[in-house]
Amino acid sequence: MERLIPQNPDQASKEAREIQNISRSVLLQVRELISDMQSIDLGEECQQAAQICESAGISFKLERNDELGGAPPIIRNILSLCLRECVTNVVKHSGAHKCTIRLEEGPGKYILQVEDDGVGIAKENHDRFGSGLLGMKERLLLIEGKLEMVTGETKGTKITIIVPKVKKPAITEGIQ
């Protein structure tokens, strides 16, 4: 567009307005998406995970150095939804005897890990669990997170979710 300004300033102005309108529309959609999300507390979701596992006869262990209290609400919300999906998969599909959840706030990142000692997911069954995993990956894209899965046919499954901490820009007075 910069090259268009000297050659055709009216066209450049029109395209700039279109870009501005599109940007506003996308921002509005993101705001609506976020406000429509059900607010879920990570601590409460951990308690609920314990209850669900125990009622299914799966021993439950929660390891944490923090409940990620310093994480922004959107990150806590998305991690809560991912935790819910992971625990649902453990209870429904794993045949596990134990489930361990780890929450950690490390340098530059937040980590959620869910591990079970169940049957694991054979490669031919990855599609069967694909929609839940895909949904988690899509949510994580909103916060630049990533999902890693280690599984075997008899070794259980370990899902690790890593979300980078976002540094807030410093506000400097007097700068315009």
Tell me the pLDDT tens digit for each residue of 127-143.
555 678 888 988 899 89
pLDDT digits (tens, 9 = 90+) for 79-88: 999 999 999 9
pLDDT of residue 169: 46
Between 2-16, 91-105, 130-144, the lowest mean confidence (pLDDT) is in: 2-16
- For residue 132, the surrounding DSSP H or E stretch is helix 130-142
Cβ pair 109, 75 in contact under 8 A: no
pLDDT of residue 170: 47
pLDDT over threshold 90, residue 6: no
Three-class SS state of 70: coil
